[in-house]
């Protein structure tokens, strides 16, 4: 396990840090996401595109967490990681939420959800609950968010193009879980790891 030695707090709240738990995505997939986004930019639509360097697979978004509770998050994810093995993920679909007719979020998805990923998610939720964090009632739907709709104008065209283009399947090995800090910035969120927890080989 590695961790940062200092926590930079959110400017608006000096006692909290914006946190999420995720799996990092290899550069080869991020590069292809960048190419996909570039093609979709041809449409005259107001979309906030996620920086390819920030694309990741979220296990749990915690939001603002008191700095005093950050070690508890690290401890919870450490326990979950020790009970989980490294596994393969295949990225190979594309779509939008909630639908192509009313898109709000554009994503690249998994061809299938590995059992090991589902198990890891359950363990993370269980260990976070042990530390006093409320459970996430939303259904776990792993995906890579690549864009968010700011205006519905022409967004349907982007959705149709994304679905038609798709995403050529590519696999990678998930070997660690990251507790990530997110600092809000006018030019986009800045992510930096607080903890990196290795999965069992």
Is-catalytic flag, 121?
Answer: no
Rounded to an integer, what distance in angstroms lies between the CA atom of residue 58 and that of residue 102?
A: 23
List 43, 56, 69, 121, catalytic entry: 56
Is-catalytic flag, 143?
Answer: yes
Rounded to an integer, what distance in angstroms lies between the CA atom of residue 149 and that of residue 155?
A: 7
Helix axes 115-130, 70-82, angle to 10 degrees: 140
Chain-centroid distance of CA 94 in Å reads 15
Residues 178/57, Cβ–Cβ less than 8 Å: no
Rounded to an integer, what distance in angstroms lies between the CA atom of residue 37 and that of residue 158?
A: 10
Active-site residue set: 56, 143
């Amino acid at each position: 396990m590695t961790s940062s030695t200092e926590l930079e707090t959110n400017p608006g709240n000096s006692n909290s840090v914006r946190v999420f738990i995720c799996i990092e995505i290899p550069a080869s997939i991020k590069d292809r996401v960048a190419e996909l986004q570039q093609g979709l930019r041809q449409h005259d639509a107001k979309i906030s595109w996620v920086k390819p360097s920030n694309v990741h697979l979220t296990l749990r978004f915690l939001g603002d967490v008191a700095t005093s509770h950050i070690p508890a998050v690290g401890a919870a994810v450490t326990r979950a990681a020790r009970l989980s093995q490294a596994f393969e993920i295949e990225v190979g679909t594309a779509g939008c939420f909630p639908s192509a007719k009313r898109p709000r979020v554009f994503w690249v998805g998994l061809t299938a959800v590995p059992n090991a990923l589902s198990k890891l998610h359950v363990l993370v939720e269980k260990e976070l609950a042990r530390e006093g964090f409320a459970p996430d009632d939303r259904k776990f739907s792993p995906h890579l968010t690549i864009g968010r709709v700011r205006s519905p104008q022409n967004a349907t065209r982007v959705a149709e193009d994304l679905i038609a283009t798709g995403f050529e399947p590519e696999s990678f090995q998930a070997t660690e879980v990251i507790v990530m800090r997110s600092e809000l910035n006018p030019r986009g969120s800045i992510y930096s790891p607080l903890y990196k927890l290795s999965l069992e080989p």
